Amino acid sequence: MSATLTEALAANPFFAAPLFDALPDVVFFVKDADCRYVLANHTLARRCGMRSKEALVGKTAAEVFRPPYGETWLAQDQAVLASGQDIDDKLELHLYPDRDPGWCLTRKLALRDAHGKVVGLCGISRDLAMADKKNPGYQKLAASVRLIQEEYGRALSMPELARTAGMSVAQLERYFVRIFQINPRQMLIKTRLDAASRLLAGDSSIAQIALACGYSDHSAFTRQFKATVGLTPAQYRAALHKA
C-alpha cells in the first residue's frame, strides 16, 4: 500500500464512501455510538424524502422514520452496539416514507476502536434484484419455486423442495443464492409474509392469516413478522389503516 493511500485511510477511513452514491439499489450508512447518522448515501436520503444526505447527519432512525418504524430500527441499532454482534444478510421488508415497501438484504457491522471497544456501526441494505432467468440453473429451480408460491400455506421442508428440483439440499441452496440472492428458507418466508401483508389489509383475524400463511402457531407468526418487517401484524394493520 502506498504511503499516500495509507495517509488517506488514516485521515478518513470512509474516504471512499461517496462510491455508494452511485448505487441506486443500495442504502449505505455509518452511525456513532448513540445511533446517530455520521455518513449516509444519496439513496437513503432520497428514500427518506430528504434533499441531501447531510440532512441525515446527527439524527437517529427514530427521528428520520415515522413511528413505529423508526423506533424498531433504532432498537436494532442499539442491539448491535450493545452486543457487538453483526447482522449478516438479514431479509427485511423496508418501508420508506416516500416509497412502496421493498424487500432487501441488510448487513450491519459493529465498528471497534484500536482497543476493541464498539464505537459505532456501519451498514448496507441491498434491494433484492429480479431473478436471473438467463442462468442455466433457473429452469432447474422453477418447480421448487412454483411449489413455494402455490403451497406456502403448508409445511414445506428443504428436502421436499430439493427433491422437486432434483437436487441435494446443498445444491438447492447454492442455486437459490446464485439466482435469487436469497436461500430457499428466505424465499419461503418472503412468500408467506408477502401473502400476510396483503391479507392484513382485509378483515381476516390475525390468527386466520397466520394459519393461511403456513404458521400453525399465532405467536410464531407474530415473531417472524416482527423480525422481518419490524412491526407486529397488529401494528402493520394499524399502519395500513392509518395510511
Mean pLDDT of 199-224: 95
CATH number at residue 161: 1.10.10.60
Model pLDDT, residue 128: 87
Segments forming the whole domain that contains residue 115 = 3-127
29-69 residue pLDDT tens: 999 999 999 999 999 999 888 889 999 999 999 999 877 77
Contact 25, 126 (CB under 8 A): yes
For the stretch 213-238, pLDDT in tens is: 999 889 999 999 999 988 899 999 99
Can you tell me the mean pLDDT for 173-198? 93
| Most confident segment among 93-102, 135-144, 209-218, 234-243 | 209-218
The Cα–Cα gap between 138 and 92 comes to: 24
Q: Does some domain include residue 224? A: yes
Domain endpoint, select from 127, 149, 170: 127
> Sheet holding 26-32: strands in order across?
37-40, 26-32, 118-127, 102-112, 87-94
Q: How far apart are CA 210 and CA 214, in angstroms?
A: 7
d(CA 99, CA 17): 24
On whether both 123 and 14 belong to a single domain, the answer is yes
Distance CA 237, CA 242 (A): 9
111 with 146, same domain: the answer is no
Last residue of a domain, one of 127, 150, 184: 127
- 113 and 50 assigned to the same domain: yes
**What whole-number distance in Å separates Cα of residue 179 and Cα of residue 12?**
36
Considering the entire predicted model, what is its pTM? 0.79
Residue 109 burial class via C-beta count within 10 angstroms: exposed 0-12, middle 13-18, buried 19 and up: middle
pLDDT score, position 195: 96
CB of 69 closer than 8 Å to CB of 95? yes
Q: What are phi and psi of 84, to 5 degrees?
A: 75, 5
Statement to judge: residues 14 and 103 lie in one domain: yes
User: Is 161 inside any structural domain?
Assistant: yes
Last residue of a domain, one of 79, 99, 127: 127
